[in-house]
Chains A and B, each alone.
Chain A
Amino acid sequence: MTAPLPSLRARVTPPDAVSPAPTHGHPPLIEVDRLSLYYGAARALHDISFAVPERLVTAFIGPSGCGKSTLLRCFNRMNDLIDNVRLEGTVRIGGEDIYARDIDVIELRKRVGMVFQRSNPFPKTIFDNIAYALRLQGLRRKSEIADIVEQSLHQAALWEEVKDRLHASALGLSGGQQQRLCIARAIAIKPDILLMDEPASALDPLATAKIEDLILDLKQQFTIVIVTHNMQQAARISDATAFFYLGELIEHDATSKIFTNPARKQTEDYVTGRFG
């Protein structure tokens, strides 16, 4: 377990296993139990245990290299693509061990969508970007595809801006629009969980505000896990926040508590900007 940390306050922190999730009555959807991850010999994640509640926004914060993106990529097994990655412990989604031998990774990724740090629309038309995701699902009916494309663009608050140029290349969109297109693409296939890896870090404040509004809308439907460097962003949009440092989960609690009354000294130092 985590080494005892010096704390200014004499608060006793929950010491063990799954930290008490700030669930607001929401059942846990992702359960991480004693997860460690190694790149070759280097350990990137150290014995992490916690749970992500359903239909809430959970934010991962922490300085660069603390393992928050690595952990996020454990949830849809994107780390499988990297050589020499070794995992210990379990990750359960909806009670199912996603690293079990018989798990279908392709099906898993359809259930756990992902939005990347840098927007990465395909070099296809706006329409085809989303239609491609639908065709991967086995959808063939043109009218059905067109309906879902429109619906997803509405949901991603992009429809009004692109409805007249659906068949123009997606690479002609602005950065913020591209990122919203990526979100539309991810939600078009109706995943249970949406993973967002610093989705707004490359965008200007206006585009960032749009993405944040969008995330607040989307949490009605999806369980969202977002990695962010921006503390204000985490405070604005998340219900629960997990603070990571050097591959360890330092604290996981309701966002309001993390930002106003953290249990650990390190958390307080980080959220107040004293380090990191």
Chain B
Amino acid sequence: MLVGATNSSLAQEYREIIPPEDFARVPPDRLRQYLGLTRQQFEQMDEETLKDLMSLRIEAKAQMPDDPDAELNTTEWRYLLGPHQWTGYDRPAYIWQPVSQIHKYNLLPLFIGSLKTTFVALLFAVPLAIAAALYVSQLAHPRAREWLKPGIELLSGIPSVVLGFFALIVMASFFQALFGYPSRLNAFVAGLALGLAVIPVVFSIAEDALTSVPRSYTEAALALGSTRWQAAWQIVLPAALPGVFAATVLGFGRAIGETMIVLMASGNASIVSWNLFDSTRTLTATIAAELAETVVGGHHYRVLFLLGALLFAVTFVANLVGDLVIHRLKGRLEGRR
């Protein structure tokens, strides 16, 4: 589909060779296609340049690795998604190596990388943000609330490159000293730094949702002899659940879409591993790091574009599911179901 028209097979590319001596015998249009030039480029080149390009192709063919993998179009879905036993590997593996001689474009390591960091970020940020929202909206003294709420929301104004830098320099060393794992930059560190970016998003929306729960619910609970904490936890939080859930979905979107923090703090190793303390590479960081180096319209470029489209699909589906759940929860609360 998105990459369907491309063929990254080296063998395919160099199957046909037209030697420079044949320059005069080949029709110009045919030659232009052979060299992969646009009409405009072709017209600007003189015969010498074109002949040089033709010789370059012969050299490139000579340098082509003697590898059966060179026959493969690695942008086919089965190579994008499934494992493949590449030459030199002792078993099928998921490999993302777009700039090796054989372009290996398996998406799985990047997906796992994105999921791992997002998972850590949400695990860290969502409970903390909701607890903070519950405290600020229900339990804190109004005067404390006045500076706590803007204080936490101000966190969202920190540029993500600053958070990334903080994670790279401070957090990474701190947690390595604490846990003693081998890779200093990994999904765990990146996830925690990502969490710092997610907290203000989740907090802000959850706090609004909790504050908009009618005060009369709290009064009713207190008049029945509940503590303020019981009223907040057992009455207000369930009543605000749709809003709190929406906050979490938004936090997920922020976490999976965030680029700079994971680019700086995750180690960027595209390996398939569920271990949180291994270096990892996310979809977003891959696009950010590689897109500028690709040939526009080339297969690498297109695969990166596919990553972007998949990222969009994931957040779209997450928001859609989130929205459905929110409607269900709301319906249940309002007695429509």
Partners in one complex: yes
Partner-B contacts on A (CB < 8 A):
76, 78, 81, 83, 106-107, 109-110, 113-114, 116, 118, 120-124, 132-133, 136-137, 168-173, 182, 185-186, 189
Interface core residue of A118, A133, A173 (most chain B CB under 10 Å): A133
Interchain nearest-CB distance for B74 vs A (Å): 54
Residue pair A109, B335 in contact (C-beta under 8 Å): no
Contact partner of B220 (CB less than 8 A), chosen from A83, A120, A168, A172, is A120
Given contacts A122-B239, A171-B334, contact A109 B224 (CB under 8 A): yes
Query: In the complex the two chains form, is B225's CB within 8 Å of A106's CB?
Result: yes
How many contacts A-B (CB < 8 Å)?
Answer: 74
Among candidates B217, B224, B234, residue contacting A185 with C-beta atoms closer than 8 Å:
B224
B227 within 8 A of A: yes
Instruction: Enumerate B212-229 residues with CB–CB distance to A below 8 Å.
Output: 214, 216-217, 219-227
Which 3 pairs between the two chains have the least Cβ-Cβ distance?
A169-B335, A172-B335, A110-B225
In the bound complex, do residue A170 and residue B335 qualify as a contact, i.e. CB atoms below 8 Å apart? yes
Tell yes or no: B275 within 8 A of A by CB. Answer: no
Q: Are B223 and A123 in contact (CB under 8 A)?
A: no
5 contacts between A and B (CB under 8 A): A106-B225, A122-B239, A133-B224, A169-B336, A173-B335
A236–B337 Cα distance when bound, in Å, is 39
Cβ proximity bits B294-337 to A, threshold 8 Å, 1 near / 0 not? 00000000000000000000000000000000000000111111
Specify the chain A residue showing the minimal Cβ separation from B214. Answer: A120
By a beta-carbon cutoff of 8 Å, the part of chain B in contact with chain A is: 142, 214, 216-217, 219-227, 230, 234-235, 238-239, 332-337
Name the CB-closest residue of B to A121.
Answer: B220
Instruction: Knowing that A78-B219, A113-B223, A173-B335 touch, tell me 9 more A-B residue pairs with CB under 8 angstroms.
Output: A106-B227, A109-B225, A114-B223, A120-B217, A120-B219, A123-B335, A132-B235, A170-B335, A189-B224
Q: Which of A107, A136, A169 contacts B224 (CB 8 A)?
A: A136
- Partner among A120, A136, A171 whose Cβ is within 8 Å of the Cβ of B333: A171
Known contacts A116-B216, A169-B332: A124-B222 contact under CB 8 Å: no
User: In the docked arrangement, what's the CA distance between A113 and B223, Å?
Assistant: 6
Residues of A within 8 A of B333 (CB): 123, 169, 171
Chain A nearest Cβ from B137, distance in angstroms: 14
Q: How distant is the Cα of A246 from the Cα of B257 in the complex, in angstroms?
A: 60
A123 touches B217 (CB 8 A): yes
Asked whether A107 lies within 8 Å of B225 as measured between CB atoms, the reply is yes
Nearest B residue (CB) for A170: B335
CB-based nearest B residue for A110: B225
Whose C-beta in chain B lies nearest to the C-beta of A117? B216
B213–chain A nearest beta-carbon distance, Å: 9
Q: Which of chain A's residues has its CB closest to B241's CB?
A: A123
**Shortest Cβ gap from B300 to chain A (Å):** 53
CB distance from A140 to the nearest CB of B (A): 15
The minimal Cβ–Cβ distance linking A118 to chain B, given in whole angstroms, is 6
- Roughly how many angstroms separate A79 CA and B224 CA in the complex, as a whole number? 15
**Chain A positions within 8 Å of B142 at CB level:** 83
Bound-complex Cα distance A39 to B332 (A): 39
Given contacts A120-B216, A123-B217, A124-B238, contact A137 B334 (CB under 8 A): no
* Most A Cβ at <10 Å: residue of B219, B332, B335: B335
Contacting pair B332 A189 (CB below 8 A): no
Tell whether, in the assembled complex, residue B239 and residue A123 are in contact, meaning their CB atoms are under 8 Å apart.
yes
Contact at B335–A171, with CB atoms within 8 Å? yes
User: Which residues of chain A come closer than 8 Å to B235, judged between CB atoms?
Assistant: 122, 132
- Judge whether A78 and B238 touch: CB under 8 Å: no
B-side contacts of A133, CB under 8 Å:
224
User: What are the residues of chain A within 8 A of B221 when measuring CB–CB?
Assistant: 122, 132
Cβ-closest chain A residue relative to B218: A81
> Which chain B residue lies CB-closest to A129?
B220
